[in-house]
Amino acid sequence: MERQDIPDLARLARPVVDLDHSVKPVAVQPFIIRSWHRCLHEFGLDPDSDQPVARVDPDDLKIRRERLGRSRAIAREEMASLDQQLAGSGCSVLLADPDGVVLDLIGDPACRDSAMAHGLVQGANWSERHRGTNSLGTCAIEQQPVLVHHSEHFLSRHVDLTGSAAPVFDHEGKLLAVLNASSFSRMTQQHTLALIEVSARMIENRAFLGHFRKHYVLRFHSHPEVIGSVREGILALDESGRVLAANRSARALLGLTRTDVLAGRTLPMLFNIGIEGLLSRKNRAWLAPLPLYEARHGNRFYSLLTLPKNSSFSLATNTPRQSVQPVNAPPRGGFPIVHLDKLQFGEPRMAYNVQCARRVLNQDIPILLMGETGTGKEVFAKAVHAEYAGAGRPFVAVNCVAIPESLIESELFGYASGAFTGASRGGQRGKILQAHGGTLFLDEIGDMPLLLQARLLRVLEEREVVPLGGESPVKIDIKLISATHRNLKELVAEGKFREDLYYRLQGISLTLPPLRARRDRQAIIGHLITLEANGAPVRLSAAAMKCLDAYDWPGNFRQLRNVLRTILALREGDEINVRDLPEEFSACSAKTAVQMTDESPAAEAETTGFGQDEPEATAMDEWEGVHLSAPEAAERIVILQTLKDSRWNMTLTAKRMFISRNTLYRKMKNLSIDLNG
C-alpha cells in the first residue's frame, strides 16, 4: 500500500525496446497520470489488490447490448475485419459500453485461457473505478484514444497486459462505445492503436449514415478522393437543408469543435449553396463530386449528396436515359495510361514538360511535378512510367494525404514479422518495395509528416529500405516521381518540409499548367467527351463547346471529367447544348447565348435556354451613356443577378462566378455597375 498516497510515476517511465531494437525511455502520458490520481484519490484502489474482474449478470448484459441497437451489429462487422488484420498476434478485440462493460469479444483461440484468466470475457466490468488504469475504462473516461502498456496499469494484476482503445461517438457526439484490442505482448501497440482508431471512426460513420438513411446526407472533403473514407465530413440534412447532425470530421473540417454548433444551421450558412442548388438538374450533386465553398473562410470542398432511402424526390425531367453510378459506389477507374506525346494537344508548356521528362527517363534523376489539384499529375506520372518501364513493371501510387499519419510509415516501408502487436505473420512489403523495378509515385508529398521525411531521404540516398522491425536492408531500384499542389519552398521556410529532402526530390521540376491557362482546352474537351462516351454517338454544339472552353475550371481536369460524366449520364439526345450544362456555367451560358444569337439568329431558340420571363440583353445596350455590346450586356445581367442572389456580398458573388474579387471589381467598373448608385 506504499503507493496509495504517492503515485509511483517513476514506475511508469518505462524503458521500451523500440522497433530498431534500441532501448528508449517513454515519457508518461498525461492521461495516465490523471488516471492514477483518480484511482488513488477518487476510487481509493489498492494497486496490489488481487480481486478478479467482476461480471454483470446475463440480463444486465442483454439490456446493455440492446442499448446500442443497430450500431452493435455494425461494430461486430468491423471487429471481425479488425481481427483478421490482427490474426496470429494474440490479440483479443473487444467492444465495451460507456461504463466499461465488455459487450462482445473476438479472441485469438491460442490465447483464450490467458485472456479469461485476466478477465477479458463478455460481461466483464473494466471500468476504471473497479479495475484502475486500463485501456477500456480509461478511454471511456478520457474519451480519447489511449494506449496502456504493462506497468502503466494501476493494478499490479494487469501489468502483463497491453491495451489499445478508441472511443466511438454517436451522431450527437455522446460516447456510444469503446473499441479495444488487448494482448500480452511485450511490445507497444502504436500500429494497433492506429488500426483501432480507424475502425472506431468507420463504426461511427456507418452508424451515422444508417441512422440518417431517411434524410439527405452531404459527404464532403477538401480532397475528392477522400470522400467515402473514414476522414470524410458528413452532414445530415432535412428537406429544407437544415443541419440535423454532423460527424467529427465535418466539425473539424469546418473548424467547429463543439458537437452542438452545427445543428440547426442551414446550408447557406456553411456553404455557397442551398439544398435546392444541390438538388437542381444543373448541379446533380448526387451523381458526381460538386465543388463547394465555405461561407466563412472560402475554403473549397468537394461534396456528394446521398438521397433519402425510399425518397419521394422525383427527378422528373432529370431522369437519366441510362443507368448511372450510385453515389455510394466506388468511382469509375482512372484515366488509362496515355502516351507522353498525347498529353500536349499542342500546348507549348506541356510540350516542354514532355521533352524534359523524356530526357531523364533512363537516368537516376527524380521528377517533381507541381501544379494545382486536378491538373493531371498522376496521369503524367503514369505516362512517364509507361515509356520508362513498360506495362510489365509495377507502378505504385501513394497518396500521402489520404493515408492516416499513424499508418503511413508501415504503408511505405513495410514491416517484418512480429514488428509490433498485430503485425501479420510473415510481415508485409511496403509500397517502396512493391515498386522495385518500376515507378514509385508519391502524390501530395508536401503533406508527408516530418519524421517520415528523414527516413524517406535515407532510402533515396542509400537506395535500400529496412522494414519496421527488420534488421537487414533490402536493395531497391525505383524511378521516383513526386507531386504536390503546395509550395515546397514556402514549407521549407516554415520548417514544415526538410530542405535536404526538397533538393533530393527536385532532380527536375515540372509545373503542369491549370486547365484555364491551357490553349488546347477545346481539343482536350473533345478528346475526353469521346473517351467518356465510350463509343456513343455524342457531339457538343458549338455554343456548349464555347461555354466549356470559356469556363475557369477551378477543379481542373478532375472537375472537367466529372462535369462531362454528369452531362453524358443525363443528356436528352445525342447533341449536348447549352441548356444541358450545370448551373455553374450560367454566366458563360448567357454570354455565349448572345454571341451565338449574333452569329446565327435562327439558333437562338435552340441554344440559349432562356425562359420567356428572362430580361432581354438589348434592354441594357445603353446604361448611363455608356454603350455596351450584346455580350457585355448579357454579362452585366448575370453579374447583377448574382449580386442580388448573394445579397450584394462581393466575396460570395466572386466565388459563385468562379472569379477573383479583383476581377469582379474590374468587370463591374467596365460594365458601369455601381453599388452606391
Q: Are 51 and 162 within 8 A, CB to CB? A: no
Question: Are 212-318 and 340-513 in the same CATH fold?
Answer: no
**Model pLDDT, residue 584:** 67
Look at residue 16 in the predicted model and tell me its pLDDT: 40
pLDDT score of 598: 44
212-318 carries CATH number 3.30.450: yes
Q: How far apart are CA 265 and CA 64, in angstroms?
A: 33
Low-confidence ranges of the chain (pLDDT < 50): 1-7, 10-25, 312-334, 593-594, 596-626
> What are the grid coordinates assigned to 78, written together?
468491423
Q: Is 493 exposed, middle or buried (0-12, 13-18, 19+ CB in 10 A)?
A: exposed
**3-state SS track over 103-146:** EEEEECHHHHHHHHHCCCCCCEECCHHHHCCCHHHHHHHHCCCE
pLDDT value for 114: 84
Domains of the chain, residue spans: 9-192, 212-318, 340-513, 550-670
291 half-sphere exposure, CB direction, 13 A CA radius: 25
Query: In the prediction, which pLDDT does 386 show?
Result: 86
Dist CA 615 CA 618 (whole Å):
9
Percent of the chain as helix, strand, coil, to the nearest 5: 45, 15, 40
Output the pLDDT for position 608.
29
pLDDT value of residue 33: 94
Question: What do you get for the CA distance between the two ends of the chain, in Å?
Answer: 83
Instruction: Enter the pTM of the model.
Output: 0.56
Place domain 9-192 in its CATH homologous superfamily.
GAF domain (3.30.450.40)
Q: Which CATH class is domain 340-513?
A: alpha beta
Query: Which of left, alpha, beta for 495 (phi over 0: left; psi -120 to 50: alpha)?
Result: left
